[in-house]
Structure 1
């Protein structure tokens, strides 16, 4: 028997399963097209004769355009609807990824990567707003965790495919394969996601948009959560951006395929996001957020080892801690913001991807001047600040309203 249309979606129901499958496919597609290039950064440095920091533009540039576009696309979803905006976003970014693998010049490739970030902006914040509106409070932690788990799976599969195919064939073939998989995921999303039940489109008065964003910065908790997005994602991407350069060099001298295979640890992030979201729903976000960040800090320090097994374990620990913390913080946004949730989500994710772009690229300076220990010191500093913010959030008085 189907659920009445006026009910919020409960965990364990058929409509919950349809929704989570659709949004996991969407997260898979978005992260695969964005982050599938990450293990290829050393390949781009050699192929196009650019520095490691310049090669990171293949990732940081689309993250930057995505961060900016989020602030425009999310208000549009208030007018056009959540599902149409997300559907267009997924199909466009998949097609641009396929086209990008055919472009011969570095600058042409970067232009298409920037456009991919622009089109991908229609998914992240809108998906968070969709879940905040449609899911019951008891289910939102798990559903947000599963969405982020789809992100993690897409990041892992995209990196693995790109790394392995680049070693045995061509990076262009690897990127094209990612584009085709993203297209399949877009079709899955379009067919599976239920239409919104609790969303009412309204006319957007663009002159009022700055005010809707500003109201979130007057909240006692949201600005701190926004800063967590910037710090956590910036440090996390920095680790993944430059670990490949370290492992390609002696004493490790790994192949591109072997480095790509290391990204299987992203599966740990897939499990962590769902499990941590569920734990936070039961024990409270305040208690879980700082623990997840502390866990990631331990992993960052582990990567200083000269033992390959310890380094890989450290990357896994960083991944688990990061996705756990992100799952908690992102679901907290939807519960804290009672109005204009799409805009609140878009601010969080804009800073999330801006951190990926700005802080991730800045890590190249530390790698060039101080090697891997410099990267660890840099990322450790970012996560140390994030931990202080989490402890500040743990002392935040709860809202005296149902969504607090």
Structure 2
């Protein structure tokens, strides 16, 4: 009886360290992580509605103009792996704060870039510094939030990323229409800097994280390898690669299609289409809540199917059908992403920051490689080829989810 009583007391003591729903610290952490997601993704994706403008102003092809986004996401993917290791010594909160401030200042610098190649260099650097946020934020949530409500809280964070992605695209489009693209990027950078300051003021210090001073390559290599040896996790990572690749491909090249005849949308009209991200915000939170109740894999499979349906709807020529398709795709993607990212924390055996970094590595490599590859399909065979490309990726993602579910059940 004594050992059992002692164990029970240990569990209770450990639970007191978690941030639980209804407390002031929980609300501050939720708002801070929402701001981090908002800032990260508004700064990262603010150039997406500007791709047709870059193509025209700098005399580059659609695929080349997409490098202003793909380089950022590509370097971010590499940085995420390093960020997980750096955060073990520097701390979660400090690294995220440094990353957010640096990225905002680099966005302001982008507004003054005189040449295309310098703009690309700045965007690549921005991707490097932003690597300190996504994986570390997921690790912070997994470590500090009560596991019983992790799905819902992760949904709130992903909702912040959706709001940031929408705001960056919509506001940049509107600013560019009336002020040109350089003042637009300057203003987006200033907004990101304000969000970074709010994050620093609000986020509670980590309570369940223990710093590891110094850098031990063997420890980090062993941690990453242990997650790759987990039978379910590599398939979750594959979902991140494929789902994000399909999502970014649609968003990258829809602009080129819609500014051309017969649609002829201007920058404001094109930017306003990205308000469908509001559906992604709702889907992230609702998907996490439903997943906590009926099963995460059920919601994940539904979300991937919804993403595919949205992609297919954009094949129709009518503008309402295209907008509806983008809306459905956005809803399905963010539902899938919030569930998949939450599953990483649930399935990982220790060193959750390293597991999150592998997920985000796959996520942004998919964005970078598949987002640029979609330009080749668009140039060769037009929009139909782009949609078939995304549907093939989503089919593989659906299969990966089924396999991951199988292994997760065996583990249970």
Cα contact 2:81–2:358 (8 A) shared by 1: yes
Q: 1:1-400 counterparts in 2 under 5 A?
A: 6-203=16-213, 204-398=215-409
The structural deviation recorded for 1:397 is: 3.9
| Post-superposition offset of 1:209 | 1.9
Query: In the alignment, is the contact (CA less than 8 A) between 1:287 and 1:394 conserved in 2?
Result: no
Native 8 Å contact 1:30 1:123 kept in 2: yes
Q: Distance in 2 between matches of 1:5 and 1:76?
A: 27
Quick one: distance in 1 between partners of 2:14 and 2:249? Answer: 46
Residue aligning to 2:8: none
Mean Cα deviation higher: 6-15 or 297-306: 6-15
RMSD: 1.4
| Mapped partners of 1:80, 1:392: distance in 2 | 36
Question: Equivalent residue of 1:396, what SS?
Answer: helix
Separation of aligned partners in 1, 2:223 and 2:406? 26
Partners of 1:16 and 1:139 in 2: how far apart? 11
Q: Structure 2: any 5+ residue segments left out of the alignment?
A: 1-12
Task: Please state how far the C-alpha of 1:4 moved relative to its aligned partner.
Answer: 10
Q: CA deviation at 1:207?
A: 3.1
Q: Is the 8 A contact 1:10 1:138 kept in 2?
A: no
Gaps of 5+ in 1: none
Distance of 1:144 and 1:10 partners within structure 2: 13
Q: 1:209 to 1:394 in 2, by over 3 A?
A: closer
Count matched residues. 399
Q: Tell me if structure 2 keeps the 8 A contact 1:11–1:138.
A: no
1:309/1:381 Cα in 2 relative to 1: closer, same or farther (>3 Å)? same
State the shift of 1:287 in Å: 1.2
Q: Secondary structure in 2 aligned to 1:174?
A: helix
